[in-house]
Amino acid sequence: MTDRAANEENHAFPHPPVYRFTSGIYQDYQALERASKDLLKQHYPRYSRFGTPMTDAVEHEITRLEGGYGSLSTCSGLAAITSVLMTFLRPGDHILLTRTVYEPVHRFVSTFLHQLGITATFLTSAEFSHCDDYLTDKTRLIYIESPSSNIFEVTDIGAVAVQARQKGIMTVMDNTWSTPVLFNPLQHGIDVVIHSASKYLAGHSDAVVGIITTTEQYYAPIRQYLMNAGICAGGEESSSLYKGLKTLTTRLKNQRETAHRLIAFLLAHPAVETVISPHLTSHPDHETYRKYYQYSNGLFSFSVRNTSSTRRDAFLSQFRTVKLAYGWGGVDSCLIPFTPSYTSNDDPEWLFFRVSVGLEDGDILIAEFSSALSKL
């Protein structure tokens, strides 16, 4: 029986146990020899770096949610992203990426991949709609983050997938914003889906873990790379993720509803210049968003006119329930200032903040924002 089939049949407990081990113990030489020939190390017993019952359970559940062939867990969302890029890219290759991609990804591509002789073109969501204009005979991979970091540009996923498939180019999408509950990229022609599971999937800001879900074509090469590079997720982090998946749909619904209340308050506030969320008709990619999404999540951004550092600090000092933190997607509401990557870093006209709504009472959050905005 395969590990996947075993997981499907094991319903004795609500959560699989966390096995703390390094190497599994073989019963005899024949079992050891069979394991040595199992190149992808998918059968037990095995070394824990190749997977444990807990990581198998998480990967099985994400595969089910995304509708993929298989999933692979890593030690972080960034590790998931860089592992996929390193698996398939070679010196001389060219890639297309979202212009407002997660900053560490932008940095990895612009520095490390550039040093390897891999070139990149960063596109807006509008440019992606005719991405064939930017393809070259060296283009090997298209990487999309949609909605993208902080300003939530929404790419026409289906259109990109069609153009890529016609050219034989693989497509990769960061689906962290959406989670499998809101969108399934594989069902729209994407080849590889990545999640920073530290965000909404785990949901409690207590685990750093990444997940890769693929079609059959790309599963084995990525697994082989992860094994060779020694990149794996730990049992405790995987356990936190597994439990987070149980409440994912409920958390997203609650966070979305509270975020909509807070957005309505901010839209009406005289100190707020703009609110950025793709579910708003004011967002430039709203029509594309409506093509793929029924619901939003608890993440949005807003801007105020740039002011003195004293007033900015006074604004931030008013928050108690809302935390000043980079993380998002957890049960605690967080806020962080940012400068959009398409603007100058030198004295921008507007001051931007990204907000991740948690599970606190909406009235408390609105009261804190009201008090904070009075200081600007």
Q: What is the pLDDT of residue 3?
A: 52
Q: How confident is the model at residue 12 (pLDDT cuts 50, 70, 90)?
A: low
Average model confidence (pLDDT) across the chain: 93
Query: Would the pTM count as exceeding 0.85?
Result: yes
**What architecture is the 3-246 domain classified under in CATH?**
3-Layer(aba) Sandwich (3.40)
Runs of H (alpha helix) within the chain = 3-9, 29-37, 53-66, 77-88, 103-108, 114-115, 125-128, 157-167, 179-182, 216-229, 235-246, 248-268, 286-292, 309-317, 362-373
Instruction: Report the range of poorest mean pLDDT among 38-42, 76-80, 186-190.
Output: 38-42
In CATH terms, the superfamily for domain 248-373 is Aspartate Aminotransferase, domain 1 (3.90.1150.10)
Give buried/exposed letters for 238-274 (b at 16+ CB in 10 A, else e): bbbbbbbbeebeebbebbbebbbebbebbeebebbbe
- At 246-300, the pLDDT tens digits run 999 999 999 999 999 999 999 999 999 999 999 999 999 999 999 999 999 999 9
The distance of Cα 350 from the centroid of its chain, to the nearest Å, equals: 27
Number of Cβ within a 10 Å radius of residue 207 = 22
- At 314-365, the pLDDT tens digits run 999 999 999 999 999 999 999 999 988 665 444 578 899 999 999 999 999 9
Alpha carbons 53 and 3: distance in angstroms, whole number: 8
Q: How many residues does the chain have?
A: 376
- Domain extent listing, the chain: 3-246, 248-373
Instruction: Report the range of poorest mean pLDDT among 42-56, 198-212, 336-350.
Output: 336-350
Q: What is the pLDDT of residue 2?
A: 46
Amino acid type, 269: H
Phi/psi at 148 (5° precision): -85, 175
Across the range 22-48, mean pLDDT stands at: 88
206 three-state secondary structure: coil
- At 233-254, the pLDDT tens digits run 999 999 999 999 999 999 999 9
